[in-house]
């Protein structure tokens, strides 16, 4: 059974022993291990039951520390890093051989990020290696945004969960790489595309297929509850599924005819909706509803990331 606590020294000693620890970040909780140690990294894949074709994000605390494991930081990448780190932005940069191939699924580039969470930044500073850390959930299921979410699902498999409170952003980082020199968003996430474009100008957004190894992990079905989920016009969907026990996950509006209704943000605030999204999906997935009905939110700011997660949650495997 794992221990939940906020002792950085305890997390540090488990990580130094080559084992995995769950860590808080502002996006979602991560399952972390020494990124320079292939055996430690292998435990992450085993605990999550994550396929090894899905590479991991490496977390560090400074640009100086980053230089020890990436070959170069191109101009546009360093503009973004200076503007948004620590924060919900992941950059794909050419890796040095010191990063094991397991971390990048054999790809030449490593995904890197400086997370914006005080406990985790202090932990990273205290270590002499960076941390590989995907979300701390079983592969394919809803990402965890609290220490308790991690304990509920992986509690038996990890020794320690560093508790840093509820994640403030609530959706995964935005991933940016350069494809033939063009800045490309490979996953929409906690940093809006508008914010990125203000710093480096127009970017392209890659729509990703389920089997494209250049952007692994962007699987069609992901972040998914066990109860089937459908998105669209909620009023219409409620009619379509009448007779079933219905849970509704709505953005702003209440749906009193549903058996259960979780409203993401009564004031229509997309940041609040993102922050509550995964907790809401988990809560509804733990009811005896037969179907979860949801709707897309306005496709601006964090709305893009929310809609992306909702789409994947609704997709069939």
Site for ligand AMP, rule CB under 6 A: 54-57, 92, 104, 107, 109-111, 134-135, 172, 175, 186-187, 215-218
Q: Minimum CB separation from ligand AMP for residue 302, in Å? A: 16
Count of CA atoms in the C-beta half-sphere (13 A) of 31: 32
Q: Which is nearer to ligand AMP, 30 or 301 (CB)?
A: 30
Q: Minimum CB separation from Mg ion for residue 143, in Å? A: 6
Task: Note whether 105 and 216 are within 8 A (CB).
Answer: yes
Q: Minimum CB separation from ligand AMP for residue 103, in Å? A: 8
Q: Minimum CB separation from Mg ion for residue 56, in Å? A: 9
Check binding of 25 to Mg ion (CB under 5 A).
no
Indicate the residue whose CB is closest to ligand AMP.
Answer: 217
Q: Which is nearer to ligand AMP, 48 or 276 (CB)?
A: 48
In the chain the first and final C-alpha atoms are separated, in Å, by 31
Q: Minimum CB separation from Mg ion for residue 242, in Å? A: 35
193-200 and 75-84 helices cross at what angle (nearest 10)? Answer: 130
Q: Which is nearer to ligand AMP, 63 or 107 (CB)?
A: 107
- Judged by beta carbon distances under 5 to 8 A according to partner kind, the member of ligand AMP, Mg ion, none in contact with residue 92 is ligand AMP
Check binding of 135 to Mg ion (CB under 5 A).
yes
Task: Note whether 19 and 110 are within 8 A (CB).
Answer: no
| Rounded Cα distance, 151 and 147, in Å | 6
| Rounded Cα distance, 223 and 219, in Å | 10
- Judged by beta carbon distances under 5 to 8 A according to partner kind, the member of Mg ion, ligand AMP, none in contact with residue 109 is ligand AMP
Q: Which is nearer to Mg ion, 52 or 126 (CB)?
A: 52
Concatenated DSSP letters of 204-247: EE----TT-TTSTT--SS-SB-SS-EEES-HHHHHHHTTTS-EE
Q: Minimum CB separation from Mg ion for residue 142, in Å? A: 10
Q: Minimum CB separation from ligand AMP for residue 72, in Å? A: 15
Q: What are phi and psi of 183, to 5 degrees?
A: -65, 130
Q: Binding pattern to Mg ion, positions 86-125, x when CB under 5 A?
A: ----------------------------------------
Q: Which is nearer to ligand AMP, 111 or 167 (CB)?
A: 111
Q: Which is nearer to Mg ion, 224 or 237 (CB)?
A: 224
| Rounded Cα distance, 115 and 125, in Å | 12
Window 182-241: residues binding Mg ion (CB under 5 A): none
Count of CB atoms situated within 10 Å of the CB of 78: 13
Q: Which is nearer to ligand AMP, 187 or 312 (CB)?
A: 187
| Rounded Cα distance, 298 and 150, in Å | 30
Q: What are phi and psi of 170, to 5 degrees?
A: 95, -15
- 123-154 b/e with 16+ CB inside 10 Å = b? bbeebebbbbbbbbbebbbbbbbbbbbbbebb
Residues that bind Mg ion (CB under 5 A): 135
């Amino acid at each position: 059974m794992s221990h939940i606590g906020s002792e950085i020294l305890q997390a540090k000693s488990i990580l130094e022993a080559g084992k995995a620890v769950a860590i808080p970040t502002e996006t979602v909780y991560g399952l972390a291990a020494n990124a320079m140690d292939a055996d430690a990294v292998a435990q992450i894949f085993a605990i999550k039951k994550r396929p090894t074709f899905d590479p991991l994000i490496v977390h560090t605390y400074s640009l100086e520390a980053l230089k020890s494991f990436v070959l170069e930081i191109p101009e546009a990448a360093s503009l973004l890093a200076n503007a948004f780190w620590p924060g919900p932005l992941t950059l794909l940069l050419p890796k040095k051989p010191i990063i094991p191939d397991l971390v990048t699924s054999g790809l030449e580039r490593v995904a890197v990020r400086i997370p914006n969470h005080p406990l985790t930044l202090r932990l990273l500073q205290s270590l002499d290696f960076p941390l590989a850390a995907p979300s701390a959930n079983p592969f394919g299921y809803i990402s965890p945004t609290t220490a308790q979410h991690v304990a509920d699902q992986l509690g038996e498999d990890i020794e320690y969960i560093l508790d840093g409170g509820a994640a403030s952003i609530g959706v995964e980082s935005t991933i940016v790489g350069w494809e033939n020199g063009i800045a490309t968003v490979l996953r929409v996430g906690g940093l809006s595309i508008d914010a990125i474009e203000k710093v480096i100008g127009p970017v392209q957004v890659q729509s990703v297929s389920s089997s494209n190894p250049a952007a692994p992990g962007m699987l069609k079905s992901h972040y998914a509850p066990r109860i089937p989920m459908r998105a669209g016009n909620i009023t219409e969907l409620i009619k379509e599924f009448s007779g079933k026990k219905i849970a509704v996950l709505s953005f702003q509006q209440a749906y009193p005819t549903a058996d259960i209704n979780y409203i993401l943000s009564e004031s229509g605030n997309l940041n609040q909706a993102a922050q509550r999204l995964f907790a809401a999906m988990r809560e509804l997935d733990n009811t005896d509803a037969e179907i979860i009905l949801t709707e897309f939110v306005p496709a601006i700011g964090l709305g893009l990331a929310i809609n992306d997660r909702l789409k994947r949650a609704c997709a069939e495997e």
